[in-house]
A and B are shown apart, each in its own frame.
Chain A
Amino acid sequence: MEYIPNIIFAIILAAGIGYFANNVRKLVRNINLGKDLDVSDNKPQRWKNMAYIALGQSKMVKRPIAGILHIVVYVGFVIINIEVLEIIIDGLFGTHRIGHSILPSALYGFLIGSFEVLALLVLVAVIVFWIRRNVIKLKRFMSSEMKGWPKSDGNIILYFEVVLMCLFLVMNATDTVFQGYNSGNVISQFIAPLFDGLSTSTLHIIERAAWWMHIVGILAFLNYLYFSKHLHILLAFPNTYYGKLTPKGQFPNNPTVTKEVKMMMDPDADPFAAAPEGEEDAVPEKFGASDVQDLSWVNLLNAYTCTECGRCTSECPANLTGKKLSPRKIMMDTRDRLVEVGKNIDANKGVFVDDGKQLLGDYVTDEELWACTSCNACVEACPVSIDPLNIIMQMRQYSVMEKSAAPTELNNMMTNIENNGAPWPYNQMDRLNWKDE
């Protein structure tokens, strides 16, 4: 009978981790629905970017208030989670504060003491975050795409963190053994008096309850990630690693088009030649992207990484002047559609069954697509190297090359380029006239 808590703990732990692992598998599968993109180049620079941008939070502090508060929560969360290790060992083996018996007590006191200080700081930061979203109502959290689930999601994450930090501190405060060490209880010693007058056994029950809820809460939070924008705490790392290394202005040249153009311009090419062996039935590759499967896997990783902070949208010239385009919404739409496609595959035994929908049109409208000035402000603003512009450009390619659906004025401009090599209807022979004017 005495092993029942250990067994229950092991079951909860296995279930928590197992369900998460299963969802991670789905996540990876969904990301891999994207097209191949070779990002194996320049590994040293990629590691450096990950170290600076994700680990070092270098772009977060471009906005100092949010940036510093975020660092508090980030450092706090990472470091406090060392405590989880002790909780897991205690839970599995029925020990109590195993760390105290294996580590020098001064070190143990120092560790728990820093966790307590960080827990308090995280609590304060998270409360400020909540106030920014719900009381001050910062503009970037109030956009139209932030209504409903995205708004709740943002708050649920904050509530999770508040509850977890409180449970951690209460657990320490009501742990008579720990308070007895009188080392490391830097914050909890001030919470302990709240429980004065309670019997030791009541304290023990509160401590156990806090301990269990803390670990269950952590597992629940872990599993919440898959359904939340909070995935960024994991994906920011690969996302910054795979982020763009070339100058921001360099848009990739579409290789499918290169093949076609080269064939057109090759005087020896035979347009009626039979397809090479094995390629007879190959479906000609689509130009650009109309749905998530046409995007690259890095675009899809970007979508899962986006934590909807809205820095991109708050810098977007189109959005700032009241246009519908919001780079954040482009990322959210991409993820929503990807999740929908993923569920479709799950429901249809591993094969995607056409549902008559696509990213372009059903999620992102032409009006949004054509409002972009390609200025790269969104890309510059993103603290985790997301590139909404790349997705916009791929969808423009689809609109123009597959659907001939560019705005009329742009079609005129392009016709001019085709005919006279300039966007205006002027004769190419007049190109040097300025010299003598």
Chain B
Amino acid sequence: MSEKLIVPTMAEMMTQGKTPDILFWVGSAGSYDDRAKKITKAFVKILNKANVNFAVLGTEESATGDLAKRAGNEFLFQMQAFMNIEVLNAYEVKRIVTCDPHSYNCLKNEYPELGGNYEVLHHTQFIKQLIDSKVIQIENSTFSGKRITFHDPCYLGRANSEYLAPRDVLSVLNANLIEMKRSKSTALCCGAGGAQMFKEPEKGNKDINELRTEDALETKPDIIATGCPYCMTMMSDGVKVKEKENEIQVMDIAELIASAQNL
């Protein structure tokens, strides 16, 4: 369990004359948020176990600018984008994987016009590839028979029509997958998007994450699965508000797969 993570940076790789197959874009949440860092580490464990030749930018990575863009600060977004693209292109990055659907969407859809053209994958898509090519094999899943409900992140689902990859990955756990009444294209947002994560909500009669947690609780889950660090925060808080944190775990798909592999 406590094996040291192998996390080469692009700079280190370059000095060794090596080229990684894929860049792991950690993202701001994955780098600094305590809960999200666990997702980052779980995903790295999967990458290490599968012997994926990857690298991170480390201290050369900077916010994608996605948050600024959704908050209306197009100026700051494009500044960040041009800066990041300069770094990514200097390292001749071709493929990127990230655990954050917001970074995924931004890098994949909004960077190309500004000069950043990469094949961008969400970590659930990448893990699915590893499963499909039998690099990851899960036997005797510890989640066998558990009730799991998946909360679609808006920026993976509706924003990019990726509903299958996370579900395909979850299906290898041999668990009991239960859909919420609002799922896939009609999934309810966790409440964090559009920069809401960083401000108090406007006046209303309920917090969005609470409503979404109610959707999830209706499925009587053992585990709420997510694929986004911001959804993770919102759903974890929601479960706490409902005082269910002792019965229900909120876990990222990367954590579920790492845990099922006893990593």
Which of A's residues lie within 8 Å of B, judged by CB? Answer: 246-251, 253-254, 257-258, 260-262, 264-265, 287-288, 315, 317-318, 320-325, 367, 370-377, 379-381, 393, 395-401, 406-407, 409-410, 412-414, 417-418, 421-424, 426, 428-435, 437
* Residue in A247, A367, A396, A401 whose beta carbon sits within 8 Å of that of B109 in the complex: A247
Cβ of A426: which chain B residues have Cβ within 8 Å of it?
Answer: 32
A431 pairs with B72, CB closer than 8 A: no
* Residue in B5, B73, B154, B161 whose beta carbon sits within 8 Å of that of A375 in the complex: B154
B199 pairs with A253, CB closer than 8 A: no
Interface segment out of the listed B57-65, B133-141, B216-224, B249-257: B57-65
Q: Say whether B96 faces chain A, with CB atoms less than 8 Å apart.
A: no
* Residue in B40, B44, B63, B208 whose beta carbon sits within 8 Å of that of A321 in the complex: B208
Q: A250-B110, A373-B208, A421-B80 are in contact. Are A324 and B202 (CB under 8 A)?
A: yes
Would you give 7 A-B contacts (Cβ < 8 Å), ordered by A? A253-B78, A261-B82, A318-B204, A321-B207, A367-B202, A422-B32, A433-B31
A325 pairs with B202, CB closer than 8 A: yes
Q: Say whether B50 faces chain A, with CB atoms less than 8 Å apart.
A: no
Cβ of A325: which chain B residues have Cβ within 8 Å of it?
Answer: 202
A434 pairs with B63, CB closer than 8 A: no
* Residue in A320, A414, A428, A429 whose beta carbon sits within 8 Å of that of B188 in the complex: A320
A249 pairs with B160, CB closer than 8 A: yes
Cβ of B189: which chain A residues have Cβ within 8 Å of it?
Answer: 317, 373, 375, 377
Extra contacts, 6 of them, besides A315-B186, A375-B193, A422-B63 (Cβ < 8 A), are A247-B109, A254-B74, A322-B203, A323-B204, A414-B76, A434-B41
Q: Say whether B174 faces chain A, with CB atoms less than 8 Å apart.
A: no
Q: How far is the CA of A251 from the CA of B189 in the complex (A)?
A: 18
Task: List B residues 188-205 near A (Cβ within 8 Å).
Answer: 188-189, 191-196, 198-205
**Cβ-closest chain A residue relative to B5:** A435
Cβ of A431: which chain B residues have Cβ within 8 Å of it?
Answer: 26, 31-32, 58-59, 61
- Chain B, residues 110-133, CB within 8 Å of chain A (1/0): the string is 100110000000000000000000
B74 pairs with A401, CB closer than 8 A: yes
Cβ of A398: which chain B residues have Cβ within 8 Å of it?
Answer: 72
**Cβ-closest chain B residue relative to A412:** B198
Cβ of A410: which chain B residues have Cβ within 8 Å of it?
Answer: 71, 195, 198-199
- Chain B, residues 224-243, CB within 8 Å of chain A (1/0): the string is 00000000000000000000
B159 pairs with A287, CB closer than 8 A: no
Task: List B residues 1-48 near A (Cβ within 8 Å).
Answer: 5, 7, 9, 26, 28, 30-33, 37, 40-41, 44
Which of B's residues lie within 8 Å of A, judged by CB? Answer: 5, 7, 9, 26, 28, 30-33, 37, 40-41, 44, 56, 58-59, 61-63, 65, 67-76, 78-80, 82, 105, 109-110, 113-114, 154-155, 158-161, 185-186, 188-189, 191-196, 198-208, 210-212
**Cβ-closest chain B residue relative to A264:** B79
A370 pairs with B63, CB closer than 8 A: no
**Cβ-closest chain A residue relative to B71:** A410
* Residue in A253, A423, A429 whose beta carbon sits within 8 Å of that of B114 in the complex: A253
Cβ of B196: which chain A residues have Cβ within 8 Å of it?
Answer: 373
Cβ of A407: which chain B residues have Cβ within 8 Å of it?
Answer: 199-200
Cβ of A379: which chain B residues have Cβ within 8 Å of it?
Answer: 158
* Number of A-B contacts defined by CB within 8 Å: 213
Q: How far is the CA of A248 from the CA of B215 in the complex (A)?
A: 24
Q: How far is the CB of A391 from chain B (nearest CB, A)?
A: 12
* Residue in A257, A377, A412, A421 whose beta carbon sits within 8 Å of that of B63 in the complex: A421
B67 pairs with A413, CB closer than 8 A: yes
Cβ of A253: which chain B residues have Cβ within 8 Å of it?
Answer: 74, 78, 110, 113-114
* Residue in B28, B32, B199 whose beta carbon sits within 8 Å of that of A409 in the complex: B199
B78 pairs with A257, CB closer than 8 A: yes
**Cβ-closest chain B residue relative to A248:** B159
Considering residues A374, A377, A418, which has the most beta carbons from chain B within 10 angstroms of its beta carbon? A374
Q: How far is the CA of A437 from the CA of B68 in the complex (A)?
A: 29
Q: How far is the CA of A163 from the CA of B67 in the complex (A)?
A: 53
B154 pairs with A393, CB closer than 8 A: no
* Residue in A372, A373, A414 whose beta carbon sits within 8 Å of that of B68 in the complex: A414
A413 pairs with B71, CB closer than 8 A: yes
**Cβ-closest chain A residue relative to B70:** A374
Cβ of B193: which chain A residues have Cβ within 8 Å of it?
Answer: 373-375
Cβ of B78: which chain A residues have Cβ within 8 Å of it?
Answer: 253-254, 257-258, 261
Q: A371-B202, A375-B193, A428-B59 are in contact. Are A422 and B31 (CB under 8 A)?
A: yes
Cβ of A401: which chain B residues have Cβ within 8 Å of it?
Answer: 72-75
**Cβ-closest chain A residue relative to B29:** A423
B160 pairs with A414, CB closer than 8 A: no
**Cβ-closest chain B residue relative to A259:** B78
* Residue in A380, A399, A423 whose beta carbon sits within 8 Å of that of B198 in the complex: A423
Q: How far is the CA of A97 from the CA of B70 in the complex (A)?
A: 61
**Cβ-closest chain A residue relative to B153:** A375
Q: How far is the CA of A435 from the CA of B8 in the complex (A)?
A: 10
